[in-house]
Amino acid sequence: MVHTAQRYTPTVAGLLVCCILALAPFASVAKGPSQSAVAAQDLPAEARTTLARIRASGPFPYERDGVVFGNRERLLPSRPRGYYHEYTVPTPGTTSRGARRIVCGGHVATLAECYYSDDHYRSFRKIQP
């Protein structure tokens, strides 16, 4: 009896499974509006002070406070340009603005949609009032 080698022909489904398994380790780096939440009272004292200034419409200690935040990183929910505004959260021990920010959208006096970043927009946590 002569044995012939069977020829393996991958199916489309098999290829898809292989691709999904190969890309699974990279799923956590996908961009999108998923972020954790933080209660306002659990923020650093400087962030709570910044929130109070936002609620009172100022005064703000930094010239760039209140400028439009473009959401170029696309980590926040997609909104029209001009919806989000950024505010500096002072970082003790730094002479510059530091990396901490609060970004608010909508009517900022109500603080309806604000996010905290302590790593200069690499990640955000939604602030719960």
Q: Which residues are catalytic?
A: 86, 120
Q: Which of 94, 93, 70 is nearest to 81 (CA)?
A: 70
Q: What DSSP character marks residue 122?
A: S
Give the phi and the psi of residue 114 in degrees, each rounded to 5: -125, 150
Give the phi and the psi of residue 43 in degrees, each rounded to 5: -75, 160
113-117 β-sheet, strand order: 36-39, 125-128, 113-117, 101-105, 84-88
Q: Which of 65, 107, 39, 124 is nearest to 115 (CA)?
A: 124
| Cα separation, 83 vs 81, whole angstroms | 6
